[in-house]
Amino acid sequence: MNQFIPISQPSITQKEIDYVNDAVTSTWISSLGKYIDRFEAEFAAFCGSRYAICVSNGTVAIQLALTAYGIGEGDEVIMPNLSFIATANATLHCGAKPVFADIDPSNLCLDPNAIEALITPKTKAIMPVHLYGHPAQMDAILKIANKHGLWVIEDAAEAHGATVNGKRVGSWGNCATFSFYGNKNLTTGEGGMITTDDEDFYNRCRHLRDHAMSKEKRYWHTAPGFNFRMTNIQAAIGCAQLERVADFMAKRQLIFDWYKTYLGDFKGVSLNNTDAWATNAYWLICLENKSWNLESRDAFMVELKKRGVDSRPYFYPMSQMPYINEFPDTPVTNQIYQQGINLPTYFDLKEEQVKFICEILRQLLDD
């Protein structure tokens, strides 16, 4: 009898345990300590950006970045309609309005051709999302942003290490935000990061992260800042994970190759596409079936689970959430979200397990 295969699980080794032990026994368990500084410096280097600021999670990383650009009430931020809800929620929490654009069906990311029609005098930023590990087409997006004087904030929560034209995500936009949630490519339990080359922006983020306390005068606060700090304990896990990141990236590519070998395009289904100009961080294996609708797709996931394999549906279009309830013209999003699922993708997954998953998939697709 095979064990239940989850969609995701973190990989924790003795290295993570040793670093956490060291952080805890040092008594530097809050948000000061050597692992914080080291994690920021090493993550910035990993992305090829000048600065990095670690924060409590990937959602507040977005909120902090928007706030540091002065984006708020009355402003609009263009983003893809298909993303994890944090992209929209963080924008709403700043008082700004998410404006939903359609996606490119080949990579599930913001379609550069859908942006310009949505730009208004209120637009302040474009927030592409590197969905499921595939990067958005940053060169085309930056061209549009520069033409219209807009900030570009990459939501890179799902794509640590992915590249566009050989250059890593996190180094393309004016800034980028990352998540280190337990199911992400690299984890600190809960955690997030902002990367940037802009020194002024970096200093504003650091300031706002810690209640906007004056550098010259302690307990004097120059703005309603936040407590978005990460702990040294979390950063210790992050440092250990970052030492292993090359292995993480190689393993995710290998897992994709196994799915490709054992499932391929059986019965016309498709796995993650990677555009020629990109490398994929494969946060999650994607399986699309053009003959699915919401009902048959969800029924398929139930059958998979009965046979010991976890999966999850593509995100719903963010515009559909009851507190947003908008109907933007995003036909690609509106169709694709019903026809996709994510399959188990994590470091400790074994070839035998992927083979088993693919056998089950073939049986179910054959019915």
Ligand X SMILES: *Cc1c(COP(=O)(O)O)cnc(C)c1O
User: Which of 34, 122, 147, 184 is labelled catalytic?
Assistant: 184
Tokens 């990989």 locate to: 11
Give 84 or 201: the residue with its C-beta nearer to ligand X: 84
What residue ranges bind ligand X (CB under 6 A)?
A: 57-59, 83-84, 86-87, 129, 155, 157-158, 179, 181, 192
Question: 10 Å Cβ neighbour count for 251?
Answer: 18
Q: How far is the CB of 54 from ligand X (least distance, A)?
A: 12
Q: Is 251 a catalytic residue?
A: no
Beta pairing class for 163-164 and 278-279? antiparallel
For residue 178, the minimal CB distance to ligand X (Å) is 8
Residue ranges in 51-110 assigned as alpha helix (H): 58-68, 86-93
Minimum separation from the CB atom of position 61 to ligand X (A): 7
C-alpha 227/C-alpha 160 separation (Å) is: 25
154 has which bridge partners? 176
- Which of 179, 333 has the CB closer to ligand X? 179
Task: Report the residue number, 94 or 360, with the smaller CB distance to ligand X.
Answer: 94
Q: Are 83 and 283 spatial neighbours (Cβ–Cβ below 8 Å)?
A: no
Output the CA–CA distances (angstroms, integers) from residue 34 to 20, 178, 186, 354, in the order listed. 12, 21, 19, 39
CA distances from 167 to 104, 162, 241, 324 (A): 20, 8, 21, 35
- List the beta bridge partners of residue 53: 194
Residue with smaller CB distance to ligand X, 83 or 353? 83
- Residue 81 to residue 330: CA distance in whole angstroms: 7
Q: How far apart are CA 301 and CA 294, in angstroms?
A: 11
Q: Which CB, 43 or 84, lies closer to ligand X?
A: 84
Distance from C-alpha of 94 to C-alpha of 99, rounded to nearest angstrom? 14
Residue nearest to ligand X (CB): 58
Active site residues: 184
